[in-house]
């Protein structure tokens, strides 16, 4: 876990003396180099220790045997099984507590730290189980975007980036038949959105969407609604029909068409490409993130779950094309923060670099797919191999 100011390490030793001792010493070394430290130790271990005089912060988790630890369990197997069950739960609570006190552990995908995400994690881990047998792994990204990770993973797996996989009309324009697939039921909404955007000045509109799956908490929806209304920006907001009941009472009735348009679906790529769009307030789903990058739209991120917090971290700290709105201790981003971050990205001097970087990445995404670009070369290579095999 790190911020641009101070790193914070959560240390998780096995609850045995021989593991805790060296970890404690290592933690002190880190702390002396200005890294904030929290050691997670089991209640039973802490109870049986003589006074632990250390400046390092120690937090209790449970192994399910709070009175006697390993001695209370009948066997090592029983101990470890219970530790896995109970420990992961109390560790998640500790991580939440640290997040609420300002520590960004929340950059980690939620299925790694939330016990309820264990099944998603299992599905993902299973995907890796046969990877040593495959010839190619094609990834929806581009080399320049994730160089370090791709270089490192290439040593282990035969990965090739082939993205961004969006229609060529938004990138290199080399395909002739890549008109977006659109359902006719959405036609009137497409027309409505584009008509409304056509009336707006250049780079003046905030586009807001939380994708096709995320269920936003009612309290968060309310804050979002007031944050958008209080901002001095016009907005296009996609609120899925299943989410609409969470809007504040009379919000839609009182919203003027000059100020904002709320729709249940929009043609996102056409919207992001529109010259009136100045910023995308997003949940940071991977597709939305790549689409915003490809179309050069800077972002305010409010990630919800799965990989979204990690994508938001990359947007903010690595590619520097957006900000991540701060949550309060309840995990809600308040209306004042929403207003503040929208202004930062869309109009303030502080957001200038973000806006410039967004244009830079747009260019790089296009180049990756264009003739001879990194993704184009990988696709060529893949096709050559296929031809050889067949």
Please report, as ranges, the residues that interact with ligand UDP according to CB under 6 A. 209, 211-214, 238, 265-269, 285-288, 291
Q: Which is nearer to ligand UDP, 209 or 378 (CB)?
A: 209
CA distance 168 to 337: 36
Residue number with the smallest Cβ distance to ligand UDP: 285
Q: Which is nearer to ligand UDP, 291 or 339 (CB)?
A: 291
* Least gap, CB of 260 to ligand UDP (angstroms): 15
* Least gap, CB of 304 to ligand UDP (angstroms): 8
Rg from Cα positions in the chain: 24
Q: Which is nearer to ligand UDP, 271 or 325 (CB)?
A: 271
Q: Which is nearer to ligand UDP, 59 or 273 (CB)?
A: 273
Q: Which is nearer to ligand UDP, 45 or 210 (CB)?
A: 210
CA distance 294 to 165: 10
Q: Which is nearer to ligand UDP, 55 or 241 (CB)?
A: 241
CA distance 201 to 349: 20
* Least gap, CB of 200 to ligand UDP (angstroms): 18
User: 């552990």: which residue's tokens?
Assistant: 105
* Least gap, CB of 325 to ligand UDP (angstroms): 17
Burial tier of 127 (Cβ tally within 10 Å: 0-12, 13-18, 19+) = exposed
> Sign (positive/negative) of CA torsion 123, 124, 129, 132?
positive
* Least gap, CB of 312 to ligand UDP (angstroms): 12
62-67 LR contacts (CB < 8 Å, sep 24+): 62/86, 62/87, 62/90, 63/15, 63/87, 66/42
CA distance 201 to 178: 29
* Least gap, CB of 284 to ligand UDP (angstroms): 8
């Amino acid at each position: 876990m790190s911020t641009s100011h101070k790193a914070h390490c959560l240390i998780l030793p096995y609850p045995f003396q021989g593991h805790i001792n060296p970890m404690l010493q290592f933690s002190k070394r880190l702390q002396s180099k200005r890294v904030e430290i929290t050691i997670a130790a089991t209640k039973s271990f802490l109870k049986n220790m003589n006074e632990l005089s250390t400046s390092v912060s120690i937090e209790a988790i449970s192994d399910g045997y709070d009175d006697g630890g390993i001695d209370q369990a009948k066997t090592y197997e029983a101990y470890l099984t219970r530790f896995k069950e109970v420990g992961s739960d109390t560790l998640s609570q500790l991580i939440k507590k640290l997040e609420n006190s300002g520590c960004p552990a929340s950059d980690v995908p939620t299925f790694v730290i939330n016990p309820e995400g264990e099944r998603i994690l299992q599905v993902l881990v299973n995907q890796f189980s046969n990877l040593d047998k495959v010839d190619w792994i094609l990834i929806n990204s581009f080399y320049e975007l994730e160089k370090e990770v791709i270089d490192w993973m290439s040593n282990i797996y035969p990965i090739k980036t082939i993205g961004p996989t969006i229609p060529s009309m938004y990138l290199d324009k080399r395909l002739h038949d890549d008109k977006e697939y659109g359902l006719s039921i959405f036609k009137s909404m497409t027309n409505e959105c584009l008509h409304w955007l056509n009336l707006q000045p250049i780079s003046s509109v905030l586009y807001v969407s939380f994708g096709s799956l995320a269920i936003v908490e009612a309290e968060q929806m309310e804050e979002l609604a007031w944050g958008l209304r209080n901002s001095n920006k016009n907005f296009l907001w996609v609120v899925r029909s299943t989410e609409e009941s969470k809007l504040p009472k009379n919000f839609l009735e009182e919203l003027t068409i000059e100020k904002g348009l709320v729709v249940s679906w929009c043609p996102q790529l056409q919207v992001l490409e529109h010259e009136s769009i100045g910023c995308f307030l997003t949940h940071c789903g991977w597709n939305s993130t790549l689409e915003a990058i490809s179309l050069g739209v800077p972002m305010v991120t409010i990630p919800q779950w799965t990989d979204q917090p990690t994508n938001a971290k990359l947007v903010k700290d690595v590619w520097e094309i957006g900000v991540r709105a701060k949550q309060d201790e309840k995990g809600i981003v308040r209306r004042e923060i929403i207003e503040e971050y929208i202004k930062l990205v869309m109009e303030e001097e502080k957001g200038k670099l973000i806006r410039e970087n967004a244009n830079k990445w747009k260019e790089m995404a296009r180049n990756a797919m264009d003739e001879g670009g990194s993704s184009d070369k990988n696709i060529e290579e893949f096709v050559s191999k296929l031809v050889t095999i067949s």
